[in-house]
Chains A and B, each alone.
Chain A
Amino acid sequence: MSLEAWIPLLVLCSSLLPGLMIFGLDESRVRLRTTLNLGGALTKLALVGVMFWGVSQGIEYEVRISFLPGLDLALRAGPLALLFLVLSSLLWLVTTIYAIGYLEGSPHRSRFFGFFSLCVTATVGVAMAADLLTFLLFYELLTLATYPLVVHRGTEVARRAGQVYLAYTIGGGALMLFGIVWLYTLTGTLEFTPLGFVSELDPTTHPALILIFIFLITGLGVKAALVPLHVWLPMAMVAPAPVSALLHAVAVVKAGAFGIVRVVYEVFGVEFSAGLGVTLPLAVLASITILYGSLRALFQDDLKRRLAFSTVSQVSYIVLGVAIASPIATVGGLVHLIHQGLMKITLFFCAGNLAETLGVHKVSEMNGAGQRMPWTMVAFTVGAFGMIGAPPVAGFITKWYLGLGALDAGQHWVLLVLATSSLLNAAYFLPILHAAWFREPPAQWPAERSLGRGETSRALLWPPIITAVAALLAGLLASLPFSPLEWARFIAEREFRPL
Chain B
Amino acid sequence: MNPQLWHDVLLLPLLWPLLLALLIAVAGSGSRIQRWLPTAAVPALIVAVTLPPTSLDLPTVLLGAGLRLDPTSRPLLILTASLWLVSTVLLQRRHQPLSHHDHHRRVAVLALLAMGGTFGLALANDGIVLFAAGTLAGYALYGLLQQGTDRCARAAGRRLVILLVLSDLLVFELLLILAHAVGSTALAALQDAIRASASANVLFGLLLVGFGVKAGVLGAHLWLVPAFRSASDAVQLILITYVAAAGLFGWLALLPLGSMHWPNQGLVLIGLALATLSYAVLRAMLRTDPGDAASSLIMALSALWLCAIGLAIHDPQSAPRLTADLPLFLLHITLAFAALLLLRSRAEQRQCKGWRMTLTALMALLVALAALPFLRLGLDVEIKLGWALWWPSLGVALLAGRSVMQPRAAQDQERSLTRRSGHSRQQTLAGIGLAAGAAAVAGAAALGIAPNAVGLAWRLVPASHWSHTVLDPLTLVALISLATAFIGGWASGGRRARRPTRPQARSWSRTEGTAATGLRLLGHRLDHLARATLPAWRDAAWHGVHRLVAQRSWRTRLAFIEARLTQWDAILTILVLLGLGIAWLALSH
Q: Which positions in A face B, CB cutoff 8 Å?
A: 295-296, 299-302, 363-364, 371, 378, 385, 388-392, 396-397, 399-400, 403-404, 407-408, 415, 419, 422-423, 426, 430-431, 434, 437-438, 475-481
Q: For the complex, what is the distance from the CA of A377 to the CA of B168, rounded to whole Å?
A: 23
Interface of B is mostly: helix
Q: How far is the CB of B357 from chain A (nearest CB, A)?
A: 38
Q: Which residue of A lies closest to B103 (CB)?
A: A371
Q: For the complex, what is the distance from the CA of A363 to the CA of B147, rounded to whole Å?
A: 21
The reply to whether B132 and A391 contact each other, CB–CB distance below 8 Å, is yes
The reply to whether B60 and A299 contact each other, CB–CB distance below 8 Å, is no
B511 at interface by CB-CB < 8 Å? yes
The reply to whether A476 and B62 contact each other, CB–CB distance below 8 Å, is yes
- Among A363, A423, A434, the residue within 8 A (CB) of B158 is A434
The reply to whether B169 and A423 contact each other, CB–CB distance below 8 Å, is yes
- Among B131, B147, B511, the residue within 8 A (CB) of A299 is B511
Instruction: Mark contacts of B150-172 with chain A using CB atoms, 8 A cut-off: 1 yes-contact digit, 0 otherwise.
Output: 00001001100100011011001
Q: How far is the CB of A61 from chain B (nearest CB, A)?
A: 28
Q: Which residue of B lies closest to A396 (CB)?
A: B132
Interface of A is mostly: helix
Residues of A contacting B180 in the complex (Cβ-Cβ under 8 angstroms): 404, 407-408
Residues of A contacting B518 in the complex (Cβ-Cβ under 8 angstroms): 295-296, 299
Residues of B contacting A363 in the complex (Cβ-Cβ under 8 angstroms): 510
Residues of B contacting A479 in the complex (Cβ-Cβ under 8 angstroms): 59-64
Residues of A contacting B60 in the complex (Cβ-Cβ under 8 angstroms): 477, 479-481
Known: A478-B63, A479-B60. A299 touches B512 (CB 8 A): yes
Q: How far is the CB of A417 from chain B (nearest CB, A)?
A: 12
Known: A295-B518, A364-B510. A397 touches B176 (CB 8 A): no
Residues of A contacting B191 in the complex (Cβ-Cβ under 8 angstroms): none
Residues of B contacting A389 in the complex (Cβ-Cβ under 8 angstroms): 172
- Among A299, A419, A438, the residue within 8 A (CB) of B169 is A419
Q: How far is the CB of B14 from chain A (nearest CB, A)?
A: 12
Number of A-B contacts (CB under 8 A): 89
The reply to whether B135 and A391 contact each other, CB–CB distance below 8 Å, is yes
Residues of A contacting B25 in the complex (Cβ-Cβ under 8 angstroms): 378
Instruction: Mark contacts of B63-92 with chain A using CB atoms, 8 A cut-off: 1 yes-contact digit, 0 otherwise.
Output: 110000000000000000000000000000
Residues of B contacting A422 in the complex (Cβ-Cβ under 8 angstroms): 165, 169, 172
The reply to whether A415 and B176 contact each other, CB–CB distance below 8 Å, is yes
4 cross-chain pairs, A with B, having the tightest CB-CB distances, nearest first: A391-B132, A438-B146, A301-B512, A407-B180
The reply to whether B62 and A415 contact each other, CB–CB distance below 8 Å, is no
Q: For the complex, what is the distance from the CA of A451 to the CA of B177, rounded to whole Å?
A: 50
What 14 new A-B contacts, CB under 8 Å, besides A438-B146, A438-B154? A299-B511, A301-B512, A363-B510, A388-B165, A390-B135, A390-B139, A396-B132, A397-B63, A400-B176, A403-B172, A434-B146, A477-B61, A479-B64, A480-B60
The reply to whether B135 and A299 contact each other, CB–CB distance below 8 Å, is no
Known: A295-B518, A391-B135. A415 touches B173 (CB 8 A): yes
Residues of A contacting B511 in the complex (Cβ-Cβ under 8 angstroms): 299, 301
Q: Which residue of B lies closest to A486 (CB)?
A: B60
The reply to whether A403 and B165 contact each other, CB–CB distance below 8 Å, is no
Q: For the complex, what is the distance from the CA of A475 to the CA of B513, rounded to whole Å?
A: 35
Residues of A contacting B161 in the complex (Cβ-Cβ under 8 angstroms): 430, 434
Q: How far is the CB of B176 from chain A (nearest CB, A)?
A: 4
The reply to whether B176 and A407 contact each other, CB–CB distance below 8 Å, is yes
B515 at interface by CB-CB < 8 Å? yes
- Among B62, B131, B173, B521, the residue within 8 A (CB) of A419 is B173
Q: Which residue of A lies closest to B522 (CB)?
A: A295
B200 at interface by CB-CB < 8 Å? no
Q: For the complex, what is the distance from the CA of A151 to the CA of B158, rounded to whole Å?
A: 41
B539 at interface by CB-CB < 8 Å? no
Q: For the complex, what is the distance from the CA of A431 to the CA of B510, rounded to whole Å?
A: 10
Q: Which residue of A lies closest to B102 (CB)?
A: A371
Q: For the complex, what is the distance from the CA of A267 to the CA of B572, rounded to whole Å?
A: 50
- Among B168, B179, B521, the residue within 8 A (CB) of A404 is B179
Q: For the complex, what is the distance from the CA of A422 to the CA of B172, rounded to whole Å?
A: 11
Q: For the complex, what is the distance from the CA of A408 to the CA of B143, rounded to whole Å?
A: 37
B313 at interface by CB-CB < 8 Å? no
Q: How far is the CB of A241 from chain B (nearest CB, A)?
A: 20
Instruction: Mark contacts of B494-521 with chain A using CB atoms, 8 A cut-off: 1 yes-contact digit, 0 otherwise.
Output: 0000000000000000111101001001
B128 at interface by CB-CB < 8 Å? yes
Q: For the complex, what is the distance from the CA of A385 to the CA of B165, rounded to whole Å?
A: 11
Q: For the complex, what is the distance from the CA of A29 to the CA of B510, rounded to whole Å?
A: 46
Residues of A contacting B131 in the complex (Cβ-Cβ under 8 angstroms): 391
Q: Which residue of B lies closest to A298 (CB)?
A: B518
Instruction: Give me 21 A-to-B residue pairs in the complex whose CB atoms sit less than 8 angstroms apart, sorted by A's number.
Output: A296-B518, A299-B510, A301-B510, A301-B511, A389-B172, A390-B168, A399-B172, A400-B172, A403-B173, A404-B176, A407-B177, A422-B169, A437-B143, A438-B143, A438-B147, A476-B62, A479-B60, A479-B61, A479-B62, A479-B63, A480-B60
